[in-house]
Structure 1
Amino acid sequence: MKHYLAALLLVVSYTLVAQPTQNVRGRIIDKESKYPLTGATILIIDTGNQPPGAVADTLGRYRITGVPVGRRTVKVSVVGYKDALLNNIIVDAGRETILDIELEEAINELATVTVKARRTGDARNEMAIVSARQFTVDEADRYAGSRGEPARMASNFAGVQGADDSRNDIVIRGNSPGGVLWRVEGITIPNPNHFAIPGTTGGPVSIIRNNTLTNSDFFTGAFPAEFGNGIAGVFDLKLRNGNNEKHQRSLQFGFLGTEGLLEGPLSKKAGSSYLVTYRYANLWLFSKAGIDIGTQAVPSYQDASFRLHFPVKTRTGKDAGRIALWGFGGTSTIDILISEQEVSDRNIFGQNDRDQYYTSTMFVTGITYDKALNRKTFLKATLAASGNVQDASHDYLFIRNGADGKPLVQNNRYVIDQKVPILDYLFKENKGSASVSVNHKINPRNILKAGLNADQYFFSFHDSTRVVVTPPNTTPQIQPWRTRWSTETSAILLQPYVQWRSNLTEKLTLSAGLTSTYFSLNNTSFSPVEPRIGLVQELPNRQKISIAAGLHSQIQPAYAYFYKTIPLWSSSTTGPLLARNQGMGLTKSWHYVAAYDRLLGRNMRMKLEAYYQYLFNVPVEKIRSSFSILNTGAAFSRIFPRELLNTGTGRNYGAELTVEKFFSDGYYFLVTGSLFDAKYKGSDGVLRNSDFNGRYAFNALVAREFVLSRNEKRRNSLNVGAKYTAVGGRWYGPVDQQASQAAQEIVYADATRNTLQFAPYRRFDVKLDYKNNRRSVTHTIAVDLVNVLGIQNVLTLSYAPQPDGSFIRQEYQLGFLPVFYYKIDF
């Protein structure tokens, strides 16, 4: 018996302390043609005196077994190509590390001198010259305060403001977040966030999960010609394939939901794979724990995604390309019942004089085919369908007044006489999309890319409302129902483009392109030629300077075209209404950027960029006013302008600094700073601060990884990260008291709009991440302590009747928000 017990203890002991290892595998391909590079050598160079390695086969595939878990450095080389050095590759016991690596052909075909490939942070897109950065899934998970979302992670980059705790809107260089373009697999997608509002690109929670992405690109200006219909920035997301050799699972539970991921081979012989995810969240945990999320309502949401990948072979066994079926989507619901709240309760997600019921749905699904036609040419084509729906209704609350004329309160609740339906809207925007592109490498110095993006839109906008009018010293009156939207129509958006990149010398590179934009909704939305150009010069001592310029255009928020406005000759809200905005043209913008880069040692770099942006053809109201479409896109409400014309302008300029140490020696840091000025002109001709003209933004992030095990046999680690953010406050103006009381919402005096500024935004975040690697299993416990100091940052002014008779309330952003999760990969 003692022998059996000793044997059992030995087995258990071995299981607990056996050195956890994992496989590293993938493909090595040409960066432009995607052709497999046979004979490429792959080495893990930081695992001892004899680094493990492999040689790519005829299909470019490689496999390295027995790689110790932890952070590793991978070196790839092949004759005729620049070497690639990949730092900070995470190897976990519970999941294979799959690295598909693209190599750039050396200009000198003899390649007798080793040239290092682009380093961490440089964009994947070979046409990008300035204002572009690659971001990794590891970064999105590692940054404090990012909550595992690409958008919140990007707010740490230079030139980007993320100063709204309730939303993940991306404000780039003072532009509206509505100017940001989201793309997946070459297709423009709808707003990929839960609780999305028409005309916006952000929201409280992202539908896209980091665990479905591979390394992707983020652009903040002067982006290449293939990116149309955007004037502020671009998220170019890449979806990853599932593991085609081994079934893997991931389960996660936390405050933001419970989610699972399954991936593995459909056929090991054919090399096909699947990847499926699902998440469900009901934020009752926050309510139970007494954590303030800005409302007493309990939001709920769910989302899912899938990707099926199939290598295609000819009858003779030759490579015929790859097909991927993919999709993702989500639905979200929230009922904000002001009638059931206490007087002291706050609500930053809606109006405070009504019960609000809201549901949103978003989906994208598509099929992608790609093939290396030969050693010089690569084809990629995608067909997709997408849609988004917003369904809302409001019930106005008639609050009883006391003898003193002030709202009557009993048991800390307002006394409600009745609830009356005043709003019902259903907005649907469906789209069929096609994208095709061809990369052709003329020679090692010259690369040509051409393509076409086409979208067929189907619009269905319906909205009915009745206004509650509050004359002075009288009972509020409800006007008859009025239709503001009633539209069923369609339109086509076409964007052909061509791009050329030339290495004029070994140190001088030119990138140039042309694109065009045509929107069939009217005869004013056509931009025949939009040039883009960039030039980069390599300098001694690992320095380079870059310049770029380009013309960009964008269609307007779709629902804004069809709003039925009040005739200019009438002050009545009950007369005939006309859809006067359907003739709006494209908003346009010239971007000019200059940049200086320098590597400060092996794992550190400094980057300085200066830019000027001129915006024109901006929709503003026909009558004299301060309204501009440049101030929209970052709220939980729609816009209701009168007749709009493309006569407004704007201008943004500034300078940005980035100092970054990539993860090495167990730590990293990122410091970014921006000084800028963003102003616009409405139809009144007055040059004003835009809503997003914070004038400065500063971020400082640092993280340290502590390896807790005493040796490689027990690889446990603790990551401790912190982030500090400081951003200038949003602009607003004096409130028009009479107009606000009549409209039952905050109305700012038009002539003095944006002459006042809220206090600066400050936030300090801390993230703790403990990882335990055992044989074939990885446990992760993490907590993201958002706004750990509980700093009160002003969000906006809201209309909220108070017991003292006042109605203006200053709303604050979220306070301390702990986001906890536990994840197991196996």
Structure 2
Amino acid sequence: MRFLIPFLFLTTFSAVCQSLTQTVRGRITDAETQAPLVGANVLLLDGNPEQPKGTVTDTEGYYRLEGVPVGRHAFRFTYLGYEEDVRQNVIVGSAKEVILNSSLREAITTMAEVEVKAAGVGEVQNEMATVSARAFTVDETERYAGSRGDPARMASNFAGVQGADDSRNDIVIRGNSPQGVLWQLEGVPIPNPNHFNIPGTAGGPVTILNNKVLANSDFFTGAFPAQYGNAIAGVFDLKFRNGNNEQHEFSGQLGVLGTELSAEGPLTKNHRSSYLATYRYSTLSLFQALGIDIGTTSVPRYQDLNFRVNFPLKKGGNLALFGLGGLSHVDILISDQKKPVRDLYGQNDRDQYFSSHMGTVGLTYSRPYGTRTFLKATVLTATEGVSAFHELVYRHVDANDNYQVDSLVPLLDYNFRQHKLSGGLLTYHKFGARSTLSVGANLDWYFFHFQDSLRNIVEGTPRYYQFRTRWDAQRSAVLAQPYVQWKYRFSDAWTLNAGVHAQYFSLSGSVSPFEPRLGVQWNLADGQALSLGLGRHSQMQSPYLYFYGQETVDGVPQLHNLKMDFTRSNHAVLSYNRALSRTMRLKAETYYQYLFDIPVTVRPSSFSLVNTGVGFSRFFPDTLQNTGIGRNYGVELTLEKAFSQGYFFLLTGSLFESTYRGSDGIWRDTDFNGNYAANALVTKEFSFKNNSTLQLGTKWTTAGGRRYGPVDLPASEREREVVYVDSLRNSWQIRPYFRVDLRISYRLNRPKVAHEFSLDLVNILDRQNVLNLTYAPNEFDPNASPIREEYQLGFLPLFYYRIDF
């Protein structure tokens, strides 16, 4: 490898300048019915004006544009009676063809009155979205400094969105718990798509999703359309792209986060079928070899697979098989330590053996019926699980000030598994250019297998240990979610989106029969728009919480939370959007969210489920009731310039309040109420005559610290973990968070092959940001306080080399 890098750079700077070209092709369809548009025009906008390069679509809506120079380009798609679509900043490389599809929206005015315009920066794919929605591309997940190719970490740069922990990709949306986020793939909910995930969370340290298989997808932060349910914070609506159906293409990547291989190509060229697959394996042992701090001295191991196989059918139909899955494993062994060692993922009194898995496979069928109706049906099977075994480590400090292990005592053993069968149906019917009706439903059939036992210390004379079963559940349940949506465009200026969502969960008997959703958009002059979004949303609780048994009878846990109801919330969002130029926009949103029916303890306390859903620990619920409430409100500002003229920037800021009331009747700040957050991202790209490009990018982030309170030291020593004074919960605040990231990427295009070198320098200033307080007695100094600050990740360099051919 060390001989390869100098050779490639020598090739770069000694290469004879040559003009490399590539083929750009794709399909143009109606945005709502997906019917092909025959004879649509495609034009390369930044080509030679004297000899414009363009083409038209065939009888199935496909087009092909050859001889496009390597670099960044803009394309225009037009069709008689439809609004045009302009795609800026399309990267054309030498190694792989560019598949660029477009969906055009039918104009509602006569051709003499149509004002054609480009799609807005970050405009979402979902036609029913009105506010708090943002499209994201594969290019963005790679271009944003510190994002690591991860959609969740990329989304933390948007206004109103924060990361909760540098070591994980949990995201806090407008002060909500990260567990309020829905992950959806091809229109159907999927399990948490992250390695080393913990029950009750929606994130993890490393994503299973591979951005190389993603198509343009949508992200919602509030008041989302009726199509989405079982979420109160936000939605990731993900889509997989199709592989190249005309030629085989491959990629290989070697980096700190793992070794990757990807391949795509045709199955049978005559039928346009294709395959696309990526595989990654990592041990993270390279971090140890380089002396890089990742928060643990253990060696996490993981592997994942993403794939899609696509089969176009007759009459515009399409059948696709898709899936993703991951395996992860780590052993955190403090019994091997000789000196105290920092570990963000473990506890300082035990050895931990942990593994997790997640997998989903689905089949989706879609077809337009004529020019007015479109149907999409998806079936999916999914599984997820975690298992852990803990041993208490008893040790002492020897004469040489080293740890010596006295004994290992089994402490707990748990195995949580969850399977489900899912089905999703979506239909669109367009009555005309003005009116579209969408009707659909999602059905999830769950199978729960939760088993857990803990070795308790029973006080007495003599004191002894006794195992207690806390979970022993093998149940099934159904979650049903029908919905209907209607879109009506009164004119080019006024658009109405209205819908109703319903939800039923058979395990608890919870019903939310009527969840209205409303969106109104008013397009003003000079590229301005005002939008209003309203909606009621609900979410079931994390499944494992229903089955916890605080007390046991004859060894059988007594389930006291089985009838927990949904958590519900009302959203109101007012949005102002202004296009400052073809590539720049200003967006401001203000919102209010009222949460109710939140589970809190029956006995008066400060506890509320709004503060859970982050980290590596499960929650062991007391008896809960749905009487808690909360409120989130704030204002957000975004100034964004799409990539053009060699650079882009994204500036976001938010001011917010996030408070709740527990069963003690006192209003408090939530754990996530930092009050403010701001991000600044800038990337500059330099192009050279030898078909290479250099990207320099940076990200600056600052945010208010999370909330905490005074520590109850006697209780903490008794429980061997931090216990806060309940009445003073969240009365204090951690110091403000600040981080600077830097990204350097160099790409060399050669005939039929491309090389890329990338270096992400995360927290380049090595800032010590406080994560939380931890209980960590110092065996070397028994008089020292057992409570200390735990810091987030320090300076973290991440690099990779990729070859496309």
What TM-score range do you get, normalising by the shorter chain? over 0.9
- Percent identity reads 54
Instruction: Work out whether residues 22 and 66 of structure 2, in 8 Å CA contact, stay in contact via their aligned partners in 1.
Output: yes
Who is 1:570 aligned against?
none
Where structure 1 has 5 or more consecutive residues not aligned to the other structure, the ranges are 1-11, 314-318, 401-407, 568-572
Distance 1:521 1:581, change over 3 A: same
Inter-partner Cα distance in structure 2 for 1:551 and 1:130: 14
Who is 1:203 aligned against?
204
- Is 1:365–2:342 an aligned residue pair? no
**Deviation digits for residues 555-597 of structure 1 (CA, Å, limit 9, x no counterpart):** 0000000000249xxxxx9998521000000000000000111
Who is 1:430 aligned against?
419
Who is 1:332 aligned against?
328
SS at match of 1:287: helix
- Is 1:414–2:403 an aligned residue pair? yes
SS at match of 1:479: strand
Q: Give the alignment of 1:143-542 within 5 angstroms.
A: 143-313=144-314, 319=315, 321-400=317-396, 408-409=397-398, 411-468=400-457, 478-523=464-509, 525-542=510-527
Distance 1:386 1:410, change over 3 A: farther
Instruction: Work out whether residues 44 and 73 of structure 2, in 8 Å CA contact, stay in contact via their aligned partners in 1.
Output: yes
Instruction: Work out whether residues 548 and 557 of structure 2, in 8 Å CA contact, stay in contact via their aligned partners in 1.
Output: no
**Deviation digits for residues 610-645 of structure 1 (CA, Å, limit 9, x no counterpart):** 000000000011111111111011110000121010
Instruction: Work out whether residues 589 and 615 of structure 1, in 8 Å CA contact, stay in contact via their aligned partners in 2.
Output: yes
Of 774, 778, 786, the match for 1:807: 786
Letter of the 1:19 counterpart: S
**Farther-moved stretch of structure 1 (747-756 vs 145-154):** 747-756
- Is 1:759–2:755 an aligned residue pair? no
Letter of the 1:522 counterpart: S
Who is 1:787 aligned against?
763
Inter-partner Cα distance in structure 2 for 1:584 and 1:169: 24
Post-superposition shift, 1:816? 0.4
Who is 2:6 aligned against?
none
SS at match of 1:466: strand
Where structure 2 has 5 or more consecutive residues not aligned to the other structure, the ranges are 1-11
Distance 1:274 1:412, change over 3 A: farther
Post-superposition shift, 1:339? 1.2
Letter of the 1:440 counterpart: H
SS at match of 2:504: strand
Distance 1:125 1:263, change over 3 A: same
- Is 1:744–2:720 an aligned residue pair? yes
**Deviation digits for residues 630-669 of structure 1 (CA, Å, limit 9, x no counterpart):** 1011110000121010000000000000001111110010
Who is 1:31 aligned against?
31
Instruction: Work out whether residues 219 and 235 of structure 2, in 8 Å CA contact, stay in contact via their aligned partners in 1.
Output: yes
Letter of the 2:719 counterpart: A
Inter-partner Cα distance in structure 2 for 1:665 and 1:785: 25
Q: Give the alignment of 1:654-693 within 5 angstroms.
A: 654-693=634-673
**Farther-moved stretch of structure 1 (161-170 vs 494-503):** 161-170
Who is 1:62 aligned against?
63
* TM-score between both structures, scaled by the size of structure 1: 0.94
Instruction: Work out whether residues 338 and 404 of structure 2, in 8 Å CA contact, stay in contact via their aligned partners in 1.
Output: no
Letter of the 1:528 counterpart: P
Inter-partner Cα distance in structure 1 for 2:183 and 2:700: 27
Post-superposition shift, 1:414? 2.4
SS at match of 1:746: coil
Inter-partner Cα distance in structure 2 for 1:343 and 1:759: 29
Instruction: Work out whether residues 120 and 579 of structure 2, in 8 Å CA contact, stay in contact via their aligned partners in 1.
Output: no
Instruction: Work out whether residues 164 and 614 of structure 2, in 8 Å CA contact, stay in contact via their aligned partners in 1.
Output: no
Detail structure 1 runs of 4+ shifted over 4 Å in the superposition.
Answer: 12-16, 409-412, 468-471, 573-577
Instruction: Work out whether residues 620 and 648 of structure 1, in 8 Å CA contact, stay in contact via their aligned partners in 2.
Output: yes
Of 556, 559, 565, the match for 1:585: 565
* TM-score between both structures, scaled by the size of structure 2: 0.96
Inter-partner Cα distance in structure 1 for 2:573 and 2:401: 56
Q: Give the alignment of 1:690-729 within 5 angstroms.
A: 690-709=670-689, 714-729=690-705
**Farther-moved stretch of structure 1 (503-512 vs 251-260):** 503-512
Letter of the 1:257 counterpart: G
Inter-partner Cα distance in structure 2 for 1:726 and 1:239: 33
SS at match of 1:443: coil
Letter of the 1:562 counterpart: F
Inter-partner Cα distance in structure 1 for 2:654 and 2:27: 39
**Deviation digits for residues 215-267 of structure 1 (CA, Å, limit 9, x no counterpart):** 00000000000000000000000101110001000000000000010000000
Post-superposition shift, 1:109? 4.1
Instruction: Work out whether residues 194 and 332 of structure 1, in 8 Å CA contact, stay in contact via their aligned partners in 2.
Output: yes
**Deviation digits for residues 710-746 of structure 1 (CA, Å, limit 9, x no counterpart):** xxxx211000000000011111111111111111111
Instruction: Work out whether residues 468 and 555 of structure 2, in 8 Å CA contact, stay in contact via their aligned partners in 1.
Output: no
SS at match of 1:467: strand
Distance 1:553 1:410, change over 3 A: farther
Inter-partner Cα distance in structure 1 for 2:155 and 2:682: 15
Post-superposition shift, 1:47? 2.0
**Deviation digits for residues 474-499 of structure 1 (CA, Å, limit 9, x no counterpart):** 99x55300000000000000000000
Letter of the 1:207 counterpart: I
**Farther-moved stretch of structure 1 (118-127 vs 719-728):** 118-127
Q: Give the alignment of 1:87-106 within 5 angstroms.
A: 87-106=88-107
Letter of the 1:650 counterpart: G
Inter-partner Cα distance in structure 2 for 1:15 and 1:705: 20
Letter of the 1:705 counterpart: E
Inter-partner Cα distance in structure 2 for 1:767 and 1:659: 21
Inter-partner Cα distance in structure 1 for 2:401 and 2:694: 46
Inter-partner Cα distance in structure 1 for 2:80 and 2:572: 38
Instruction: Work out whether residues 20 and 776 of structure 1, in 8 Å CA contact, stay in contact via their aligned partners in 2.
Output: no
Post-superposition shift, 1:341? 2.1
Post-superposition shift, 1:45? 1.1
Post-superposition shift, 1:312? 1.4
SS at match of 2:499: strand
Post-superposition shift, 1:320? 5.2
- Is 1:550–2:535 an aligned residue pair? yes
Letter of the 2:454 counterpart: T
Letter of the 2:26 counterpart: G
Letter of the 2:673 counterpart: N
Instruction: Work out whether residues 163 and 761 of structure 1, in 8 Å CA contact, stay in contact via their aligned partners in 2.
Output: no
Post-superposition shift, 1:413? 3.4
Inter-partner Cα distance in structure 2 for 1:177 and 1:512: 27
Instruction: Work out whether residues 15 and 775 of structure 1, in 8 Å CA contact, stay in contact via their aligned partners in 2.
Output: no
| Length, aligned pairs only | 791
Post-superposition shift, 1:20? 1.3
SS at match of 2:140: helix
SS at match of 1:739: helix
Inter-partner Cα distance in structure 1 for 2:241 and 2:566: 34
Post-superposition shift, 1:155? 0.2
Post-superposition shift, 1:342? 3.7
Inter-partner Cα distance in structure 2 for 1:14 and 1:79: 49
What do you get for the CA RMSD once the two structures are aligned?
1.8
Inter-partner Cα distance in structure 1 for 2:646 and 2:357: 42
Who is 1:562 aligned against?
547
SS at match of 1:606: strand
Post-superposition shift, 1:63? 0.3
